[in-house]
Chain A
Amino acid sequence: MDEGQLSRGTKAWWWVAGVVVIVYALFPVAWIVSLSFKTPSDLATGNFLPTNWVWDNYDNILAGDAQELFLSALRNSVGISLIATFISVVLATFCAYAIARLDFPGKRLILTTALAVAIFPVISIVTPLFNLWRNIGLYDTWPGLIIPYLSLTLPISIWTLSAFFRQIPWELEQAAQVDGATTWQAFRKVIVPLATPGVFTTAIISFFIAWNDFVYGISLTSTEAARPVPAALAFFTGASQFEEPTGAIAAAAVVVTIPVVILVLLFQRRIVSGLTQGAVKG
């Protein structure tokens, strides 16, 4: 790196640019955090920060009136997103291995299909599923969301993993086969350990996408049985009908943002490489 040669002035400018980026990225988050600590009377002051910091809103969603609505939604979101992520990562792992390592006709077809599915307008799937799910009893159930979630998580998993798998030194697999391992053994004993970081990263990205879903969540559920958090946020009501649910929504928003921020803090380097490899890798 030739950073040592940079003049002090240039360095200062890069710091300024960096700070601007950080403010840009975190300002709305800071605002929703601030909002979540405000009392109802504090909302209309037009100030950014609360005058009194109170935990009332968190009390409300975790132990109070909104508890039923929020905690069940949280349970649904975590469960449904994890299961959808798990299924798509397992399917995609096999698929991407085949694409990266084996020679068979139809590879391009599979990758093109993944691309087409990734750009598919979600709402176009909702309309037919809404009717079908009502007829076969999947409306407002976990599987009723997990299945359509695969349309979101599977294509990106296949892409990201194919890109990761292409970078694994295939000679190792060959060496294992020369040493007498079958294709399956070579896969399990040699490739899996090398591939685990890629699989893990893919799972995180896939989880973000499932966690973020709103269209399916709002359209294919009607009760607390399956409604995920983003959809539940739209249904929050105030403590009385004259009270805005602002504080409760803000607190709930903060709670569901925490896991995302933790994952980002821990794995930022991997997430970036996963996101970019899937899309613009030569």
Chain B
Amino acid sequence: MKRRGTFLLVAALVLSMAGVLFAGGAKEQKEIVLNFPSFWVGQDSKAGPVAELITKFNADNAGKIKIVVEENPSPDPYRTKINASLAAGAVPDLFIFNPDPTSFQYYDGEILMDFTEELKGEWAKDFQEGYIQASTKKGRTKTVPYEIGITPIWYNSELFKKAGISEFPKTFDEFWVACDKLKAAGIVPTSQMTGGVNAWTSMLWYSHILASIGGPDVWNRPLTHPQYVEAAKILLRLYSDGNTTKDAVGGDAGVSGGHYLAGRTAIFINGPWYIGRAKKDAPAVHAATQLAFAPAVKGGTYGGLIGFQLSNLAAANTKDQAKREATLKFFRWMTKPENVKMISERSGAMFALKYQLGDNVDPLLKRFVEISNQAKFIVPHFQSQYPVHVTQELGQAIGAMVLGKATPEEFVQFLIRANK
């Protein structure tokens, strides 16, 4: 009995090893296999359409190229894994790149495939203005711009009506009056959060306020510029006098979004990817949601919008010309305007490419496109301008300021110290 078990085990091992060997040998001659660790799988809204595109690509290139998706459903561990494999010297064939100053350090080595030449030619015409340039460092474009996001203000027009407010305030003076009216009607004005890895909702508020103060040049100013303190003062007020929920300090995206969807708060900020969630879980709130520009600070601009690159496509540097060609072919396929249009219409995601949405899309998604066309200027968010350690300190610093442990000036000092 025992002996038979051992025999079976050994036999199974030998067989499986032989299988791997044969499979490997066969592949080498016939087709190029590209491994693609991806978090656009599982519950991600883009999972379905992206999988269809990859299946179609594999079918069209059968016997020549095969994309093998390695499913890593959650983005934070995904990033951990990519970082660790890069540090260990193993770059995945294809992967999703997070365009922030920390990850742009990948550009320094020779590990990424360089797309500089290709993205100067015919291919470049497919992209919206500015994104290729934003993905170029020291003259090299080593990732392909892909998913983008814009994050206007969301507000619940039904709750506004209930509080007797006819339209979204255009200045902060009007905004505080509106907040008081909302509170008088028993509604908490805004959703905020200091938790999660990046204090997402409040980080976007901070970015909006800064954009109103600084205009299109806002990010050319160093952290020592007074605009950061001025914006912090407004952010602090958003957290004070009952202008947000009691659980905002330490709250995460579930808290911030949950309050808005539950109709407890009237004002929220997020990107188009949240539309599907709102529609499914809170159809009434989804129907009542309108989009707006952030109110302007005194002397600041109105009509600026926060928009940023969410994910780029990256690949391992290789000397194998065939592999390079295969990678390019795949990325061209994924960035084809009609293909991104398909993903966009089905998932609510937005892309750095030129495409026109059809008529049957969600009305809220349409409003996203409209507001982005109306914007006087679009600037990225705070998070894309500073390394991850500064963004992470932002949530901690907001907490300290709101809890009275730091003044707005000290709040900015925390950021400066983290940025050193």
Partners in one complex: no
